Structure 1
């Protein structure tokens, strides 16, 4: 299934593939960059503290696990987006997991997040395990919420004051999609 090529809204070729061990350095650089571009993430600059070795080991764990996925999106060889999915390890919860997604700000609005979610949904439908995808999104992130709704996610709950940033509390919405 991966790698796969898709076309962005503005006609560019987007490569989507699973992360591998040699991607750790570029992914950590990407994470450092996005942490400075938006406050909608759960971490800010300097707060994502994994080493290259730890990140590489996580990629390999995802590759070996039937209900986990770490996708990278590339434009002209540069990482422009990521999507992670991790389901539970035990039989009662291995069908359901949480998705995380990010896209470089300069590439917002050209369909990269949509294409990454489509890739996750296709992967989940092709498999026999994943039946539910959950996510958390800050309640004031209107663009992301609109995208998730277009993909079929529904609001399942609200976590009040879950994020604290610069003296202000923000709620998170819990959204889910049954496969």
Structure 2
């Protein structure tokens, strides 16, 4: 399976929305169920400076999306944060690695980013394994970070620092 990574375009909005409609994708992120196309259109067609949206594509089908946001503070412009989701049928098949590797390359080779940060639910073992494989370390735990499926959930604060 050949995975292509590229910046998202306006005609990708419906496909990205469909990814985030999937149970594992909205429960594994801070997204809510039942996302509207208008919400995703606003998010993806009016990107602020320092915000990048990458998609993973197989044979013309969007299978994953990653958002990367460079911190706008002058004293933290060397830091970016990411969030991502991969369509359920393509999870554990390399799409997450491809998206994350592309974001790391963009960040470190072109945006002068030294630190990429993320939050991941402590029970999301596949994502934690992926992040660790690509050089992210757990830096702490945020208790009751988000309300998820009727209860408060903890997240690991993870980061990849390029020295």
1:134 & 1:50 partners in 2: Cα distance? 28
TM-score normalised according to structure 1 size:
0.80
Deviations 1:110-161 (A, max 9, x none): 1110111111111122115211100000001111111111111111111101
Structure 1: tracts of 5 or more residues without a match: 1-11
Q: More helix by proportion, 1 or 2?
A: 2
Which 4+ stretches in 1 moved above 4 angstroms? 47-50
1:128 & 1:55 partners in 2: Cα distance? 21
Choose the corresponding residue for 1:141, options 124, 128, 132. Answer: 124
Larger-gyration structure (1/2): 1
2:36 & 2:136 partners in 1: Cα distance? 27
Choose the corresponding residue for 1:78, options 57, 61, 79. Answer: 61
TM-score normalised according to structure 2 size:
0.87
Name 2:20's counterpart in structure 1: 31
CA contact (8 A) 2:57 2:63 kept: yes
| CA displacement at 1:19 relative to structure 2 | 1.1
2:14 & 2:150 partners in 1: Cα distance? 33
CA contact (8 A) 2:17 2:35 kept: no
Name 1:13's counterpart in structure 2: 2
Length, aligned pairs only: 161
User: Aligned pair 1:124/2:107, yes or no?
Assistant: yes
2:17 & 2:67 partners in 1: Cα distance? 14
Name 2:42's counterpart in structure 1: 54
1:56 & 1:122 partners in 2: Cα distance? 21
